[in-house]
DNA sequence: GTCAGTGCAAACTTTTTGCAACTAC
DNA sequence: GTAGTTGCAAAAAGTTTGCACTGAC
């Protein structure tokens, strides 16, 4: 399964590099492999780490940025600029991303929603060819909700004792 | 119309500052006023500029960052981390944002879509209180589409003459 | 052999932090 | 007066750029 996907994205990369007379460097293919053997989000730093330790293939930061930007334009990876940190993820076969983000603790959860996929699909944009989308739903997760109610309770008790 | 909105957001700020024993500094209110007299997206830099020239009220960058983060958590402004630059916008009364982004030229257009609003409204997220959302639809704008077709045409002609 | 691509370091941009001075309460 | 805020400068984090060297073609 996974191999099939890797083969497919490698073919896309092959094709692009050949078409544009760019070089098939080991860096590009190793980075692509490393990305597609990762599940979920990762930071540039984490990818760098992984390449060094797991793949025994250290590359420079500049190369990582270059290569990620290349993959970004080929839509082989997606980039999300979250609060404080930029994260990437493999996104071949899946250009649609829904995330729920807790505005209290910053926790990010990826969710699937065929309804949203459909709604964006049907969304009418004038003179614009849609390729994919990212949806961020902001709110408060259950953990933070309980935390908030607890804190409020404490505060009101404190206020009560102050006025007594 | 606009005054009404400003009054409303000032009340939210008032309330928050009083509740949490934070100071009602001129900076905070002037920055809020400046933001709510701006239409559409703006960068921190632009806001800084505006405060200095239009409002004759220069503040330090650190204060701007602090204040914007405060407003962010109060949901009085929204932040978008676009390719290369971070943009803010006033968002009281409107926590839902849809943007179409051209992946070729980076052009960003804000769009309204009651259908999407509805779809996200109806989206079921387990144990999560939704407060608002941001949707980014990626694709290619008409200008870039025509540019691409022109370029492809040129390339194929070039290839043709090469093989001749 | 050539030139795109890489590594490295430096530059640059953006954001955060530490601290003294200030001021709203 | 006190503690939250600001301004300034320095630091930290994130990203881009210039240049010499390397290696894919």
Q: Give the containing element (helix H, strand E) for A50.
A: helix A44-53
Q: Do A103 and B140 count as a contact with CB atoms less than 8 A apart?
A: no
Residue with tokens 């982004």: B101
What does the alpha-carbon distance between residue A127 and residue B32 come to, in Å, rounded to a whole number?
36
pLDDT higher than 70, residue B133: yes
Instruction: Tell how far CA B109 is from the center of its chain.
Output: 11
DSSP string, A10-21: HHHHHHHHHHTT
In contact, B68 and B44? CB cutoff 8 Å: yes
pLDDT number for residue A50: 94
pLDDT number for residue A106: 82
Optimal mutation site among B19, B91, B112, B123, interface A, most CBs of chain A within 10 A: B123
What does the alpha-carbon distance between residue B13 and residue A39 come to, in Å, rounded to a whole number?
41
Give the lowest-confidence range in A76-90, A130-144, B67-81, B138-152.
B138-152
pLDDT number for residue A164: 47
Instruction: Tell how far CA B105 is from the center of its chain.
Output: 18
Q: Give the containing element (helix H, strand E) for A133.
A: strand A128-141
What does the alpha-carbon distance between residue B88 and residue A131 come to, in Å, rounded to a whole number?
25
Residue B43 tokens read as 């960068």
> In which band, very low, low, confident or very high, does the pLDDT at B148 lie, cut at 50, 70 and 90?
confident
Q: List, for chain A, all residue ranges whose pLDDT scores fall below the cut of 50.
A: 164
pLDDT higher than 70, residue B154: no
pLDDT tens profile B12-58: 999 999 988 999 999 999 999 999 999 899 999 999 999 999 999 99
pLDDT number for residue B10: 95
pLDDT number for residue A156: 64
Bridge partner list, B128: A141
**Sign of the alpha-carbon dihedral angle for B66, B69, B70, B76:** positive
DSSP B75: T
Q: Which chain D positions come under 7 Å from a protein C-beta?
A: 4-9, 14-18, 23-25
pLDDT number for residue A162: 54
Question: In chain B, what residues touch A145 (CB-CB under 8 Å)?
Answer: 129
- What are the C-alpha distances in Å from A53 to residues A30, A42, A49, A50, A87? 13, 15, 6, 5, 20
Higher local confidence (pLDDT), B152 or B12: B12
Reported residue count of chain B is 164
pLDDT tens profile B90-106: 999 888 899 999 888 88
Give the lowest-confidence range in A31-40, B21-30, B116-125, B152-161.
B152-161
pLDDT number for residue A111: 93
pLDDT number for residue B156: 64
What does the alpha-carbon distance between residue B127 and residue B130 come to, in Å, rounded to a whole number?
10
pLDDT tens profile A44-77: 999 999 999 999 999 999 999 999 999 998 999 9
pLDDT higher than 80, residue B159: no
What does the alpha-carbon distance between residue A109 and residue B42 come to, in Å, rounded to a whole number?
28
Residue A9 tokens read as 């994205």
Find the residue in B nearest to A78 (Cα).
B138
């Amino acid at each position: 399964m996974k191999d099939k996907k890797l083969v497919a994205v490698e073919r896309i990369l092959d094709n692009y590099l050949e078409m544009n007379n760019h070089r098939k460097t080991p860096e590009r293919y190793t980075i692509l492999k490393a990305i597609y053997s990762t599940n979920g989000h990762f930071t540039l730093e984490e990818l760098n780490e992984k390449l060094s330790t797991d793949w025994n293939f250290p590359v420079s930061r500049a190369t990582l940025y270059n290569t990620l930007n290349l993959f970004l334009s080929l839509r082989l990876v997606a980039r999300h600029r979250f609060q404080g940190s930029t994260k990437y993820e493999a996104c071949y076969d899946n250009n649609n991303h829904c995330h729920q983000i807790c505005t209290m603790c910053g926790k990010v959860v990826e969710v699937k929603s065929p309804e949203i996929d459909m709604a964006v699909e049907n969304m009418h944009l004038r003179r614009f060819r849609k390729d994919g989308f990212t949806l961020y739903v902001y709110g408060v997760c259950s953990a933070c909700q309980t935390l908030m109610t607890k804190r409020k309770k404490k505060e009101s008790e404190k206020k009560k004792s102050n006025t007594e």
